[in-house]
Structure formats: C-alpha cells, structure tokens
Structure 1
Amino acid sequence: MKTDPYWWEAAPRPALTATDLPRDIDVAIVGSGYTGLIAALKLAEAGRSVAVFDSNAIGSGASSRNSGFVGRTLKYSFGDLVKAKGLDHAIATYQEMQAAFQAVADTVAEYAIDCAFKVHGRLVLAETARQFEDIKREYELRHRHLGSPFDILGRDALPREIGSPRYVGGVVLPDLASIHPGLYHAGLLRAVVPRGIQLHPFTRVSGIGRDSAGFKIATDRGHLQARDVILATNGYTDGLLPWLQRRLIPFDAWQMATEELPQGLIDQLLPHDRTYIDSFMNVDAIRRAPDGNRILYTGKTGTRSDQATMAKRLMRELQATFPDLKGVGVSHSWTGRCAATFDLLPHLGTHEGIHFAVGYCFAGLPMGSHFGRLLAQRILAPGSVKSVFADRPFKTVPFYQGNNWFVPWMMRYYDLKEGKRHAA
C-alpha cells in the first residue's frame, strides 16, 4: 500500500530547484494550491510581478490530494439558507456556487488542461426514509428557484445506478462533474511557468510586516518587499497571521483507492461512472478512478489515526457498502488538510491589508478556483468584487488559538445525532 495520493501516480509533485528570492515583487502569494496559482496567473496576465511561496513542495497540499468532486453545494442546504437568511440571500449564495463550478470548467478550457474533467452527474444517496424525503424537498426547492435539474430514484430504481443494498433512494444531479485533481494542478503549474511567475518551494514565510512601501516579508531563505500579499493556505494556515488561524478549524480528510478491479465488477457496482455521496454531515464519497478500474473512497473526516489503520477502517466501510468487494485490497491510502469555519461558510477578505481566501468547508476544488480569480480582481480593481462570501463577519470563539482537538468529537456527535452506521 502506498501512502502518497493515488493522484500523484499520473501527476507527481514537481522537482523544482530553489531560485534566489527577488528583492521586491508586486504580489507575494503564500500557498501554491489552486487558489494561489489561479490568483498568480490572473495577476501575471495583468502585468503584475508575482512570487508564490510554499513551505513544502509546490502543490503538495490538499489541492493534489482531494477527491476531485466538482459540485455547487455548501454544508448549508438551500432550504437551510432560505430559513436563516431569506430567499434572496439563498439564491445569491447558490448562484455563486454555480459560478464556482463554472470557474473550474472555464479554467480547464482557458489553459487547455488535460485532467479528465467530465460532466457525468452525481448521485446523492439516502440511507433512511427521512433522509430521502429531505433530499427530495431540497432538490425540488433548488429546481423551483434555481432551475437546477434532478431526477428522483426510489429503491427499485437504484440498482441501475449503484450496486449496493445500503440505500433506500437517491437523487441524480446530471450536470455535476469530476476531475483528476493532480492533473488539474499540474496543468495550472504548466501555465504558470511561461508567464514569469516565480515559484519558491520549501520556503517558509515566517513574518509579514507593514511599511510605507507595502509589506516586508521574512522567509527562512531571506527577506523581500511586496506591494500586496495573499494568504492562500486554508487548512495549512499557521501562526503567520494569528487572527486568521483563530478563525479556521483544520481537519484531515481521509481517502483510499482499491486495488484494480475486474471490469465486470466495477461496472456492476458503479455502472454509470458518476460521483456518489451520502446525506450525512460527515459525508462519505465514492467514485471511480479516472482510469476506470478502481474505486476511490473518502470517509471518516476529522478522525485522528495513522494511514495504515485508516486504510483498514475505510476499506471496512466501503465493503459494508459493497459486500462484493470482500477480499479486495487497498493500493493507496492518504490524507489532506482541509479547513472549516465556525459559521461553516467560506470567507474571502482582507485583514490589515493582507488578502485571504479560506474555509472552503468541503467545497475546496470549485471554491479555490473561484476565489483565486476573485483575489486577483480585488488587487487589480479594488472595490469591484461582488461576492456573498466577501468581507463578512468572520467569527471565532473565546480562547481558541487554532488547536483542533475537538474535531473528532464533533464529527462523532454528528454521526450519533444523524444515526450514521459504521462497519464493525
């Protein structure tokens, strides 16, 4: 079993050599995932000089480790937002989620990235009759106010979509997509190189201070001056900006890949090659690998363990969903660091002149792509960005300093509250 992400087989992390730091730069970006690279591309295309810093290899964080689901859903359902904030706010929020989905498609097309981007639909699954009624109401509401297409599948129709006895019904969302996240990031990296963007891997930024010219930036390889600064670190945010660290809840998202499966078996279990999620807060997610011959599974988010133990636990869960996988082994098991917020919403903003985009709350691939564009626009044309996620109150709680000790207990609470079953 390999402990590097399955995605790195086709998109290994680049072996970049360290280059000298610039004395000054227009924009310094901390974080080399989707958000940082897309912001860098848009800024460079507008004529700004840009340097991207990462304390590890470029793109070795969550951007090349995630499940590759491209959707438009938050932890707050459309119906929840209608009740809490009103219909107009709910519509604006989910319209922006559609814009985030479109940002991925537009980025793939604009930079001609070969990354298995495919619109093939998502199946949202219910384990109980109550869940089934809830998701039917939710997607009927979205269809009425947003025009989002969906199809309802009862228990009798489910075998045409998924070879599992676990579920009582589901909803197909035909216009959602998936991607190979490693190749998506690799494509962004290829676009960065000819545009003169400086990449500085294994370069930890240790301090950012204001001065008359903008910002003085300290790294473990020297100092430089920058007119503007972007923090695009999300789940890897540390004490560089304590104000931001106090508002983010980092957590691990665990994933695994099965060994290669016989074609007949995988066609029986996942006949239409969609993405598949259940309806719990602590979501489980299933998809075929882009090569079509193994299953990728995401689950037990927030659990603290080692990768070998988690591989066994994830495989037991997947076998509980698909009993026909008995005896199948794990080829890869890995994790990536994500971040939630206390209000369970993404945030885009500026603190003490430093721009940030964080707290993607399980929607990192579309939101990271969307927010990368918006960050660049905020620098290039201040005051021009309109986003329901921008410059909102960003809450924390007393005495919280970024220690996420409570995450496993919180996820377990949701599991008990919602009656989520676990394999023995």
Structure 2
Amino acid sequence: MRLGTCVALEIAVGAGLLSGLGVSATWGLGQARAQWDREANAAVSAQAVLAEQLPAAELPPTPTRPAVDRATTAVPAEPTPSRPSRISATAPIAEVAPLDDSPSMFNGVRDDLLLEPLRTGIISRVRYNRGGSSISLRIEFDNDTQAAFKPNQTNYQTIPRKEVAAYRIDRMLGLSAVPPAIGRAFPVEELLGAVESSSQEFLPRLREEVLLDDDLVVGELSWWIPVIKQATVGGYDIDSTNGVVTWKRYLTIGVDMPPEDRHMLAQISSMVLFDFVINNPARWSGANVRMSEDGRVLYYMDNTLSFGRDPEGHRKCRTYLTRAQKFSRSVVAALRALTESDLRAVLSEDQGPFEFLLDDDEIEAVMQRREWALGYIDGLIAEHGASAVLVFP
C-alpha cells in the first residue's frame, strides 16, 4: 500500500488499476513486486532507450592532447549486435579460474566493515536526494555513518533488491565497483519522523509513493561515497558523445591506448561487460557514471533497473558491450568460472527483508547473457588472438 490517504496506482503497461485504502490498509509487497516486474520487463523508460549513432563529424581536440586525425585513426562502424556463436574448445580462450573467495573490498576497506554500521545504526537524520526520477534518501545514523536508501516504491524504474544483487555479482567478478549494499526495513514513522526541515517539502511524495510492508519501509542501503565527480576519459565526460567516441576508439583492437588513460579504459571495458550481464540499460541515461575524487576509480552506481529477463540483453546494453574489443583477463576468467549454483548460493545469503534478490527467471537470464558475452569475447579471441583482446589484468 501507499502511505497517506486513498490513492491509486496507474500501471503504465495496461495491467489495470490497483488501489490502497490508507496507511492502515493492506496492499502487500507481493502484489506490488509483481507489478514492478511486469512493468520493468514490459517496457524500459524513455530515458533508458538508446537510439543514438556515433557522429561522422571530426572529433574536436581534447583539452589535454592534440586532436586525433580521424583520417588516419579509423573508428570502426557501429556493429549490429547479433547472437555470437561459441567457438571451438580448441580456440585460444581465456583460462577458467576459480572464483576468488578472499574478502571483498571497496575503496580499500573490507565490505563487511562498511556494512556493519549500516545494519545496526539508528536513524538520526534523513535527507531527500534531489535530481532523480525515483525516491532516494540519504540517511545519517547515530554511529556517524551514512547511506543512500532506496525504498520499495511505485516507480517501477527502482526495484531496490536488484541493487543488492548487482553488488553481489560485482564482487563475484572481482570488480569492487558497486558500493556495498544490503536490505533493511525501518518503521515508517521512525523514517519519516527523522526527515530534516530542508526535505519536509517532499513528505507528501514520500507518503504517496513509498510502499509499506505492514508498517515497515523495506529498501536497500548503499554505503555513501563521500566524494564523487563526473567520470572522464581523454578530457571528455565518459557518457558524452565525444567521450563515447574516444573510449570506443581506444578499446578497438589495433588502436594504441594513451598510457594516462589506460587505467580508466580498463574500468570502462569491465563496466560495459558487467552492465550487459546484469542487463542495466540505465547506465548511460545520465548521472550514473561517476568516479572518485582522484580520478582513479570508476563507480558503477544505480543498478535498480537491471535484471530484465531478456536472454540477449537490452539493445542498449548489447550496443555498448560491442563497442569494446579489449577486456580484463581476470574479469573474463571470473565470468567464465561463474556457475548458476554459485550465483544462487551468493544471492540466497543475507537477503534481509527481501523475499529474494533475483527470481528464477532473472537468474536464468543472467546465465544466458553470460553465454552471449563469452561468445562475443571468444569470437574476438579466435579472430585476433588472446593477447590482442585480453589486454588488461
């Protein structure tokens, strides 16, 4: 149900009309969850749909180095992604390595140490995070820690359990790029009662759009990154047209990479592979490509629209994946080692207040996209050799 008085939820894909009768009525998250999944997989929001093509015009000079001569440095035409065929077992593919069971880290700190204060902290203050289309809050706890909190809500673009699933898969692939995330539930009056004065104007929206499980607000907490800034490569924002042209060119086989950009290019390559596997079409829709203050770490933020059930991924995810032809040897090896049983085991641990992190169909689709991605990479290896494709550690 929604917070507040009698309200109605218009279902964008024609699933009919559901209604709640105030805070004391029972709608239930099972009904709401089914609605979210129907909507999230029947249609992707307009801003998540990619229709752009790379420009034919000359790339303007970067602020830090001379302009690239497009006449002598060829940029291959955009591929038309199609289902790749897995190559022969005798082809020179990346080795299959066991999954790393060492403690996962984020920004040099163990995940469990970052998450423990979020599990036990008592809310001291709540702020509304402005700028997004969905509800996102910043919670400060009495133990001096902070977290981003996304509650279950009527906005089908935000399904909080999927952020936790994305974090778990990120660690399985050895990436350490998704902020640590857990599920947690708060009494509704405790949460709303801590909203600070500067965010009071958003209380009506919170009461209208936040979904309740009895009197609890269920959602996901992500460790709050103190400082982030727009991610760049070659002097351009990564998600700008010039930025995409730049990293696509340098991630093309046969094109030399500037030493100063190599570290960021490696992370972009792994990000487009990760986004394809989890089927996240929202990465390039704005504000979701950020890096650390020193420019060394690329953060994979906001994954709540991920895990649609398409076995070949959303068209946008395939397009971005196939713009890259150079990948990390260790990430590809971890992807190759990933099994469905491993995935189910990791996702069944520490589910918190969520009934599940991914359902059976979503897990099956992850494994199918894994096959598609490995087929694409193995095809490049068969044609160009492993040393030309697996260029990053």
Structure 1 length normalisation: TM-score? 0.23
The structure whose RCO (Cα within 8 Å, separation 6+) is larger is 1
Between Structure 1 and Structure 2, the one with more strand by share is 1
